[in-house]
């Protein structure tokens, strides 16, 4: 995600224009990759079969530094194992992870399920919703990617949807409509998240849990409290998905400064609503200069981008497609971390000690066991504008966190 820390973020779609160069004897096209190889890749099931990679893709799933990181990863492995050919590399190429999407028939859930279905790392994709999920699963099952798609409908099948799952993604809930704030969503979505996380605690407590349902500033603390009450809380595996703020920041900065999007990286900290969203434009990579007016305009647009989409759709929905894209990116990063990639970084709203607030969005390093490290350097050397904005967001973020904690504790967790 972050250019400053060189990581890879990719799906089969994002690597369509990548060229994997291995040899010159035979050519084959797999999952959109053109490969020159001296070996027969009968067991190829994803990009991880490559020993070296070069890419000219403009997709923000795959940055320039991401390609470098991927290439270096396999070169180091080849050297370590004294590998002379790709055929003898034998990386983990088989799809082996189970992902569950809770709320899979919704506006975010459907495109998110499609993007997750494209991942070569997913072996089983479980789709859960209270209705209309069978058709979604039937549709996706026709896609010729490795994962098996299974539908689960209603509370009686929720447990089965979660058993043995490695990553749980929760986009369930009602969308924003014109005039609605994220707080307006609270009473409905808070109860939905609470119920779903109770089921996660019962059936797959060791899974990575990705919370998308808004207001994330409150729903993540709700999830944490539920998991604590069940005695299975692991703060390293609970994530509020704020990736969309980063995706938007990268896009808007690239447009404003006329730079290649693939090169742009803007860390976004704080929370996931309004002024709690703080893009650190001074930390933009590559380094670019902004006028005070540009900083103000970009910051406000990134903070209000969700409202921009809600108003543009004029009552027909909220930011579903871009949210699905961002959520799929975070899922792919989690899967790569679980698969052993040691160079995975994302921004996320998590339990944190970077500030006095119990939860805070910042860049984190992901590993097999969840969060491995916090990149506190992002909070050092802030501009006066960013420092003041950071202090200004804290009261609102604190109130949202406390609201979620209070909701989770106002009544006992259902058995």
Q: Which residues are catalytic?
A: 272
Contact present, 374 and 354 (Cβ < 8 Å): yes
Contact present, 323 and 113 (Cβ < 8 Å): no
At 74 the three-state DSSP class reads: helix
Ramachandran angles phi, psi of 394, nearest 5°: -60, -45
- Whole-Å CA distances, 198 to 105, 224, 227, 230, 234: 20, 10, 7, 8, 14
Return the bridge partners of 74, or none: none
What is the DSSP secondary structure assignment for residue 398, as one 8-state letter?
A: H
Helices 133-140 and 109-117 pack at an angle, to 10 degrees, of 30
Select from 288, 226, 227, 220 the least CA-distant residue to 252.
288
Structure tokens at 272: 């996931």
What is the DSSP secondary structure assignment for residue 319, as one 8-state letter?
A: S
Q: Whole-angstrom Cα distance, residue 167 to residue 327?
A: 12
- Whole-Å CA distances, 358 to 21, 211, 396: 47, 17, 13
Contact present, 380 and 280 (Cβ < 8 Å): no
Q: How far apart are the first and last CA of the chain?
A: 39
């Amino acid at each position: 995600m972050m250019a400053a820390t060189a990581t890879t973020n990719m799906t089969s779609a994002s690597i369509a224009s990548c060229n994997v160069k291995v040899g010159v004897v035979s050519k084959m096209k797999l999952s959109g990759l053109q490969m020159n190889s001296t070996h027969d890749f009968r067991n190829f099931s994803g990009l991880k079969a490559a020993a070296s990679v070069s890419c000219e893709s403009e997709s923000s799933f795959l940055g320039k530094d991401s390609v470098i990181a991927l290439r270096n990863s396999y070169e180091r492995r080849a050297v370590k194992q004294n590998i002379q050919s790709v055929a003898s590399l034998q990386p983990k190429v088989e799809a082996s992870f189970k992902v569950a999407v809770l709320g899979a028939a919704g506006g975010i859930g459907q495109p998110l399920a499609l993007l997750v279905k494209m991942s070569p790392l997913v072996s089983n994709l479980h789709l859960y919703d209270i209705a209309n999920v069978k058709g979604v699963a039937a549709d996706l099952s026709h896609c010729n990617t490795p994962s098996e798609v299974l539908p689960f409908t209603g509370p009686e099948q929720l447990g089965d949807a979660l058993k043995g799952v490695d990553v749980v993604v929760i986009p369930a809930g009602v969308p924003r409509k014109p005039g609605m704030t994220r707080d307006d969503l609270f009473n409905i979505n808070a109860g939905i998240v609470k119920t779903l996380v109770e089921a996660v605690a019962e059936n797959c407590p060791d899974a990575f849990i990705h919370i998308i349902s808004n207001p994330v500033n409150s729903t993540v603390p709700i999830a944490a409290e539920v998991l604590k009450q069940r005695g299975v809380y692991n703060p390293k595996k609970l994530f509020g998905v704020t990736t969309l703020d980063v995706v938007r920041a990268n896009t808007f900065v690239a447009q404003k400064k006329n730079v290649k999007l693939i090169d742009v990286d803007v860390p976004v900290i704080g929370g996931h609503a309004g002024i709690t969203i703080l893009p650190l434009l001074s930390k933009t990579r590559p380094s670019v200069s902004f006028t005070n007016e540009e900083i103000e305009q970009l910051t406000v647009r990134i903070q209000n981008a969700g409202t921009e989409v809600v108003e543009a759709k004029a009552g027909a929905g909220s930011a579903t497609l871009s949210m699905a894209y961002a959520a799929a990116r975070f899922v792919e990063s989690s899967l790569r971390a679980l698969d052993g990639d040691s160079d995975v970084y994302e921004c996320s709203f998590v339990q944190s000690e970077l500030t006095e607030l119990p939860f805070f969005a910042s860049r984190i390093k992901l590993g097999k066991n969840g969060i491995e490290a916090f990149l506190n350097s992002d909070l050092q050397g802030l501009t006066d504008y960013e420092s003041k904005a950071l202090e200004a967001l804290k009261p609102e973020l604190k109130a949202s966190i406390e609201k979620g904690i209070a909701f989770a504790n106002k009544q006992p967790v259902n058995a």
